[in-house]
Structure 1
């Protein structure tokens, strides 16, 4: 009888603790929470701060897709390169995927912008299934060379953008809403410049 009384008295504490455990241990639950926070305005990519476009030696930085096709960033001069590092087990990566997919769908026919979504674990079969199950159409690659720390130091997710001259124009570690109109305008400005 005392146990039932204790349970009724503490039901909200028990439910709150259970919810926290689910968020901590279930990646999709945490991703859903983060996605909700993105939709109400948190996690906007900061494109208002003026980054000095750093010259970066991109030749030899390579990525390979599931078909075995290699892409060398040094060969993409004259194009804007949108590069995102992610993994399937990363809740913030999962949370930003819908916005990345929406951004990609907006620009996928634009020949001046190249998108590379690099599975940091290099498990293309697993990440292909992950994207397919969620109906995301993103060009998936794995890293095939050394990546300089100024581009990717292991923080997930990480997004970098190189302008047409191959200069680092945007670098963001962590979750962001890339379907935001300010970010789309930023890409269009890079394309025009």
Structure 2
């Protein structure tokens, strides 16, 4: 076999191996998506004006100790709510940016993060958080979820303002550590309306 043909077989083999890695290894796919987020793709579309709807929501969340928190009890706080799963590469890809946003606001009592594990497996979800050194609190749903909030696509992120009104919704991965999104959270946090 000549060298030219051998090089072609090797390069095709490497391409197929990389493609298979991206298709079948969730962490590899997540790493690729993280890289795309770093170059500016997958930025959330933050509303420039107040585009707030007022659904009647009775959302309740359960932590690993069985404590129930309701959206109604969180009025007066901005609530960042993320539906995710450990097997979901786009979810894993956006986690570093969510963690950076969380780190910016964790000492601020006006901003609450609720990471909703779609699998319903606290052990697996908290294990992932611990391995990655993330301190974000993991919850499960303790009530039904209206389709206007979560249609089943992962990841889905919603933000409620201090009055409990839906202020932001994004389906798919996004870089939540962007300056535009940080400014959006700060605007909601400082708003009294």
Q: TM-score, normalised by structure 1?
A: 0.94
Q: Which runs of structure 2 are paired with 1:87-102 in the superposition (5 Å)? A: 87-102=85-100
Unpaired segments of 5 or more residues in structure 2? none
- Which residue number in structure 2 is paired with residue 126 of structure 1? 124
Q: Which runs of structure 2 are paired with 1:106-185 in the superposition (5 Å)? A: 106-185=104-183
Matched, 1:38 2:37: yes
Report the alpha carbon displacement of residue 75 of structure 1 after superposing the two structures with TM: 1.4
In 1, the alpha carbon distance for the partners of 2:156 and 2:114 equals: 12
In 2, the alpha carbon distance for the partners of 1:51 and 1:38 equals: 26
Matched, 1:13 2:12: yes
CA contact (8 A) 2:47 2:168 kept: no
SS at match of 2:41: coil
CA contact (8 A) 2:61 2:139 kept: yes
Change in 2 beyond 3 A, CA 1:189/1:49: closer
Change in 2 beyond 3 A, CA 1:155/1:49: farther
Report the alpha carbon displacement of residue 57 of structure 1 after superposing the two structures with TM: 1.7
Report the alpha carbon displacement of residue 49 of structure 1 after superposing the two structures with TM: 4.7
Report the alpha carbon displacement of residue 140 of structure 1 after superposing the two structures with TM: 0.6
SS at match of 2:154: coil
Unpaired segments of 5 or more residues in structure 1? none
SS at match of 2:143: coil
SS at match of 1:38: helix
Per-residue CA shift, 1:107-153, capped at 9, x if unaligned?
Answer: 01111111100001111111100110111111110111100011111
Change in 2 beyond 3 A, CA 1:7/1:187: same
SS at match of 2:96: helix
- Which residue number in structure 1 is paired with residue 46 of structure 2? 47
In 2, the alpha carbon distance for the partners of 1:169 and 1:110 equals: 19
Report the alpha carbon displacement of residue 92 of structure 1 after superposing the two structures with TM: 0.5
Report the alpha carbon displacement of residue 52 of structure 1 after superposing the two structures with TM: 2.3
In 1, the alpha carbon distance for the partners of 2:166 and 2:173 equals: 19
In 1, the alpha carbon distance for the partners of 2:183 and 2:84 equals: 24
